[in-house]
Structure 1
Amino acid sequence: MPRITREAEATWEGSVARGAGTLTAESSGAFGPLPVTLASRIAEPEGKTSPEELLAAAHAGCFITSLGSELARVGAPPERMTVRCVITMDEVEGQGHQIVGSAIEAAVLVEEADPAAFDGAVVAADEGCPFSSLLKRAGAEVTVNVRREGG
C-alpha cells in the first residue's frame, strides 16, 4: 500500500478563551468549516465540535472499515455495522490533559459466522486499526465491545 496523506486546516480568531475557530478538510472537501471553541472542548459543545470528537469519529471510522474487512476475510461479510466511539480526556499528573481512553461499542448484523471466527475477526480488526494502535502506543486504554446480531 502506498503512503497515504490527508490534510485538514484549523483557523482561529481572538484569544483562546473568548475566540473561535473552524476546522476544514480542504483536500477532500468532506467537511467544514466546522466551528470549534475552547468551550466545545471543556464544557457543553452547543453545536460546535472539538478535536476529541473528531478523534472519536476517526477511530470509529477506522475500526468499522477494519472490522468489515476482517469479517469478509473469514467469510462473514456484515450486512450492517454500527460503531460508536467515546474518547476520554483527563488530567494526568505531571502531563496536563491527555487522551486516556477510547471505548469502541459496535453492533454487527451478520447472518452466518462461526463464533470463534467472528471473535477472531474482532481482535484482528482492533490490531489492524491504525487509530487503535496509535492510541495504545500513546498510553491510552482502548476497549472494544462488539455485539453480534442476526443468525
Structure 2
Amino acid sequence: MPKRSAQARWEGTLQQGKGTIALGSGAFEGSYSFATRFGDAPGTNPEELIGAAHAGCFSMALSMLLEKAGHPPKEIRTQAEVTIDKVGDGFKITRIDLTTQAEVPGITAEAFQKQAEAAKEGCPVSQALAGTSINLKAELKNL
C-alpha cells in the first residue's frame, strides 16, 4: 500500500511565529500561524486539513458501501467541522461533526443511514481519530 507524506515548517515562537504546510504530492501548500489556528487570520491550520481529510475519506467510504449494497450514489457532499478546545494546560481536538448529503437512487432513508454509520466507523481517517467524538448527520436528498 502507498505511503503519503506532508511537511510542515515553523519559524519563531508559538504566538508570533509562522509556518507553511505542504502536501507531498504538491497539490497544496499554505501558510499557518497562531492567528490562523486560534483566530480569524487568513491561512490554514492543522484542524482544517484534518477536516478535509476526514470529509474526503468518509465520502469515499460511503460511496463504496452504497455501491456494494446495490445503490451507487450520484453525488455525496460532506462537510467536517473540527473543534479544538483548551483542555488542561494544552489543546485537544474534542469533536468532529460530519454533515453529509447524498443523492442515491432507489435506497430507503433507513438503509442510507445504516450505510452512513458504517462509513463513519469504517473509514480509515475515522479509525485514526477514534479518540475524538465523531458525530454524523446524514441526509438523503436530491441535490
TM value normalised by structure 1: 0.87
Structure 2 equivalent of residue 20 of structure 1: 18
Residue identity in the other structure for 1:39:
A
Distance (whole Å) between structure 1 residues aligned to residue 58 and residue 93 of structure 2: 18
Q: Deviations over 1:51-101 (max 9, x none)?
A: 0110111110110100111111111111111100001111223x6211110
| 1:31 has 2:28 as partner | yes
Structure 2 equivalent of residue 52 of structure 1: 47
Deviation at 1:40, TM superposition (A): 0.5
Distance (whole Å) between structure 1 residues aligned to residue 110 and residue 141 of structure 2: 15
Distance (whole Å) between structure 2 residues aligned to residue 16 and residue 97 of structure 1: 13
Distance (whole Å) between structure 2 residues aligned to residue 91 and residue 18 of structure 1: 19
Deviation at 1:131, TM superposition (A): 1.5
Deviation at 1:117, TM superposition (A): 2.7
Deviation at 1:126, TM superposition (A): 1.1
Deviation at 1:141, TM superposition (A): 0.8
Deviation at 1:12, TM superposition (A): 2.0
Deviates more, 1:16-25 or 1:54-63: 16-25
Q: Deviations over 1:86-144 (max 9, x none)?
A: 01111223x621111000000001121133432221121112112212222x2x11001
Q: Which secondary structure state, in structure 1, belongs to the residue aligned with residue 102 of structure 2?
A: strand
In the alignment, is the contact (CA less than 8 A) between 2:76 and 2:101 conserved in 1? yes
Runs of 4+ in 1 over 3 A off after TM superposition: none
Q: Which secondary structure state, in structure 2, belongs to the residue aligned with residue 54 of structure 1?
A: helix
The runs of 5 or more residues in structure 1 that have no matched partner are none
Residue identity in the other structure for 2:120:
D
| 1:87 has 2:85 as partner | no
Distance (whole Å) between structure 2 residues aligned to residue 102 and residue 6 of structure 1: 23
Identity %: 34
Distance (whole Å) between structure 2 residues aligned to residue 42 and residue 119 of structure 1: 34
| 1:97 has 2:97 as partner | no
Q: Which structure 2 residues correspond to residues 68-83 of structure 1 after superposition, within 5 A?
A: 68-83=63-78
RMSD: 1.4
User: How many residues are matched?
Assistant: 142
In the alignment, is the contact (CA less than 8 A) between 2:99 and 2:136 conserved in 1? yes
Residue identity in the other structure for 1:58:
A
In the alignment, is the contact (CA less than 8 A) between 1:74 and 1:117 conserved in 2? no
Structure 2 equivalent of residue 10 of structure 1: 8
Q: Which secondary structure state, in structure 2, belongs to the residue aligned with residue 61 of structure 1?
A: helix
TM value normalised by structure 2: 0.92
